């Protein structure tokens, strides 16, 4: 509707008063700013149009309508349901290109649509973007996999870890096993690699922390093959034989079994040496001086030797 006034501001206020609307809820188009002449003047004219307030789902659809041309896609979004949750259906010639590998593309589109739909809301509303009945088929697959892996966990008595999933798919796994009395489920890890772990009630005592956790702790302490083996090889122990200590040669002087004297004095006999460097068993220094440090007194040969 068009409204007039002496100035543009006066024309806008006149129009808002008649429409009973706020300025942020309307669109104002200035048609004529008005002009004062020497003799008389003509008023300013504006056109005021009330803004159409979009719902959360309609706002998300409008966003996707501008997004897909930028992605080079011919997908056409349409609002299918808006109640407890918002469901947006994508129609495209090639559903495979919209869904992507393991739903990566459609999941990303769903995150963006959810952010737009929940802008300004105090309570989050769930947004689902579907294409070619992909969501329903995916949910059925996840539920079937959850039951199968739960049976495996109970049979083996071990924890079973699923591949990383987004929050929507993890919620499906939890809901599929919530009534199963033999297992419990828990999400672990950090986004975007957060995953679900299925733990059986008959979990074996040696598997309380899980195989991966035990292996990681063992490697951190140096007991595993990754770090421990490498460190042992670096020190020379690993698979190499432990170095053997060489026994003293027969010509070693009798003053000590570990003497560094290489003189090679003959006459060494097993158990025949009595002298040591320093004091031994209370011997005085004077007694040691009487003994030659490089050789021990010879003992008579046994009777059975020639």
Residues 209 and 197 in one domain: no
What φ, ψ does residue 303 adopt, rounded to 5°? -65, -25
Do 70 and 37 sit in the same domain of this protein? no
User: Exposed, middle or buried, 22 (CB in 10 Å: 0-12/13-18/19+)?
Assistant: exposed
Q: What's the pLDDT at 259? A: 43
Q: What is the CATH number of the domain that holds 91?
A: 3.30.300.20
Overall domain count for the chain: 4
Please check whether residue 1 is in contact with residue 16, taking contact to mean a CB–CB distance below 8 angstroms. Answer: no
Q: Write down the pTM of the prediction.
A: 0.52
Tens-binned pLDDT, residue by residue, of the chain (306 aa): 888 888 888 888 888 888 787 777 778 888 887 776 666 677 888 888 877 788 899 999 999 999 999 988 889 999 998 988 999 999 988 888 888 888 889 999 999 999 999 988 888 899 999 998 899 999 999 999 999 999 999 999 999 999 999 888 999 999 999 999 999 999 999 988 999 999 999 998 875 555 555 555 555 555 544 444 454 445 554 555 556 656 555 544 444 444 444 444 444 445 544 444 343 344 444 444 443 334 444 444 444 443
Q: Give yes or no: residues 146 and 112 share one domain.
A: no
- Do 80 and 90 have their domain in common? yes
Burial, 101: exposed, middle or buried (Cβ in 10 Å; 0-12, 13-18, 19+)? exposed
| pLDDT value, residue 111 | 92
- Whether 75 and 92 have beta carbons less than 8 Å apart is answered as yes
Closest CA to 159 of 205, 195, 211, 194: 211
Dig out the tokens for 261 from the structure. Answer: 């004297």
Q: Is residue 76 situated within a structural domain?
A: yes
46 with 62, same domain: the answer is: no
Radius of gyration of the chain (CA): 45
Residue 222: predicted pLDDT: 54
Predicted pLDDT of residue 161:
94
Residues 6+ positions from 238 with CB-CB distance below 8 Å: 229, 232
According to the model, what pLDDT value does residue 306 have? 38
Angle 253-258-260 from CA coordinates, rounded to 5°: 70
Q: Are residues 124 and 60 in the same domain?
A: yes
- Of the residues 154, 183, 203, which one is the last residue of a structural domain? 203
The residue from 132, 163, 193 where one domain ends is 132
Same domain, 121 and 105: yes
Q: What is the CATH number of the domain that holds 194?
A: 3.30.1370.50
Can the peptide bond before residue 192 be classed as cis, meaning omega within 30 degrees of 0?
yes
Tell whether 284 is covered by a domain.
no
pLDDT of residue 177: 95
User: Is 298 inside a domain boundary?
Assistant: no
Burial 262-290 (b: 16+ CB within 10 A, else e): eeebeebeeeebebbeeeeeeeeeeeeee
Question: What's the domain range around 114?
Answer: 56-132
Domain assignment of residue 137, yes or no: no
- Same domain for 149 and 169? yes
Dihedral angle of Cα 241, 243, 244, 245, to the nearest 10 degrees: -170
Q: Is residue 13 part of a domain?
A: yes
């Amino acid at each position: 509707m068009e409204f007039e006034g002496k100035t543009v501001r006066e024309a806008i206020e006149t129009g808002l008063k008649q429409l009973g609307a706020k300025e942020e809820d309307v669109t104002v188009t200035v048609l004529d700013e008005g002009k004062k002449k020497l003799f008389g003047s003509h008023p300013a004219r504006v056109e005021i149009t009330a803004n159409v307030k979009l719902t959360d789902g309609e706002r998300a659809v409008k966003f996707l309508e501008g997004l897909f041309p930028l992605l080079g896609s011919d997908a056409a979004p349409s609002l299918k349901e808006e109640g407890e949750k918002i469901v947006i259906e994508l129609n495209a010639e090639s559903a495979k290109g919209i869904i992507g590998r393991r739903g990566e593309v459609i999941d990303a589109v769903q995150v963006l649509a959810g952010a737009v739909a929940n802008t300004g809301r105090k309570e989050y509303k769930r947004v689902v973007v579907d294409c070619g009945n992909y969501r329903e088929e995916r949910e059925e697959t996840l539920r079937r996999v959850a039951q199968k892996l739960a049976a495996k966990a109970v049979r083996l008595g071990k924890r079973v870890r699923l591949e990383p999933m987004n929050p929507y798919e993890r919620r499906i796994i939890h809901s599929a096993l919530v009534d199963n009395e033999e297992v419990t489920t828990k999400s672990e890890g950090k986004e975007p690699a957060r995953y679900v772990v299925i733990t059986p009630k008959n979990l074996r005592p040696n598997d309380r922390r899980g195989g991966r956790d035990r292996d990681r702790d063992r490697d951190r302490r140096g007991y595993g093959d990754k770090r421990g083996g490498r460190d042992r090889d670096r020190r020379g122990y690993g698979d190499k034989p432990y170095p053997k200590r060489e026994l003293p040669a027969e010509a070693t002087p009798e003053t000590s079994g570990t003497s560094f004297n290489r003189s090679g004095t003959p006459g060494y006999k097993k158990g025949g040496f009595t002298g040591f460097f320093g004091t031994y068993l209370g011997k005085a220094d004077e007694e040691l001086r009487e003994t030659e440090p490089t050789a021990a007194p010879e003992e008579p040969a046994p009777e059975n030797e020639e």
